[in-house]
Amino acid sequence: MIAIACDHSALELKAEIKALLEQRGLEYKDFGTDSEASCHYPIFGARAAKAVASGECDRGIVICGTGIGISLAANKVKGIRCALCSDTYSARMTRAHNDANMLAMGARVIGVELAKEITAAWLDTPFEGGRHKTRVDMITAIENGEDIEP
Ligand code: RB5
């Protein structure tokens, strides 16, 4: 189950990404917004992120104008690693190396076709584990207030 959310600036792109998920036979839960009325992106970023952090959803995709605000909001939820991507290389690598459990995109930054390619790359790439797990675990340790100095 994929959590998906956006603000008012990204309704069209969210619809395209939902269609892509449907084509791939992936279930999603839409956490809003569902209107073009100006809204506050942290509300929707947090809703999707909490669903991922709680295990209700496996991964999440969040979209705002730049992708920055909604990714910042998602990353404030414990357990979330939300990567803002504007290229397919970063989308692949943030799965392979960072085990990013959420993807953020900027609807005013990238086009629809690139956003779909980024989403596909992010969905299809597994985490490599190994030395990358050590580093991801260090990120979690920072989140837990632990000292990661060697
Ligand atoms: C909304 O105007 C815009 O600020 C928002 O979509 C996003 O870009 C914030 O980071």
Q: What is the pLDDT of residue 117?
A: 98
pLDDT (tens digit per residue) in 75-122: 999 999 999 999 999 999 999 999 999 999 999 999 999 999 999 999
Contact predicate 20/116, CB 8 Å: yes
Q: What is the pLDDT of residue 84?
A: 99
Q: What is the pLDDT of residue 60?
A: 98
Q: What is the pLDDT of residue 1?
A: 98
Question: What does the domain layout of the chain look like in residue ranges?
Answer: 2-143
Q: Pick the atom of ligand 1 nearest to 10's CA.
A: 6
| Residue 19 alpha carbon to ligand 1 centre in Å | 23
Atom 5 in ligand 1: residue holding the nearest Cα: 65
Binding site membership of 39 for ligand 1 (Cβ less than 6 Å): no
Q: What is the pLDDT of residue 141?
A: 98
Q: What is the pLDDT of residue 78?
A: 98
Q: What is the pLDDT of residue 3?
A: 99
Q: In terms of Cα–Cα distance, which of 96, 9, 113, 18 is closest to 60? A: 18
Pocket-testing residue among 12, 39, 70, 84, ligand 1, by greatest number of atoms within 8 A of Cβ: 70
Q: What is the pLDDT of residue 148?
A: 97
Q: Is the dihedral of CA 91, 94, 99, 101 positive or negative?
A: negative
pLDDT (tens digit per residue) in 111-126: 999 999 999 999 999 9
Binding site membership of 42 for ligand 1 (Cβ less than 6 Å): no
pLDDT (tens digit per residue) in 16-57: 999 999 999 999 999 999 999 999 999 999 999 999 999 999
Binding site membership of 45 for ligand 1 (Cβ less than 6 Å): no
Superfamily of domain 2-143: Sugar-phosphate isomerase, RpiB/LacA/LacB (3.40.1400.10)
| Residue 140 alpha carbon to ligand 1 centre in Å | 27
Q: What is the pLDDT of residue 76?
A: 98
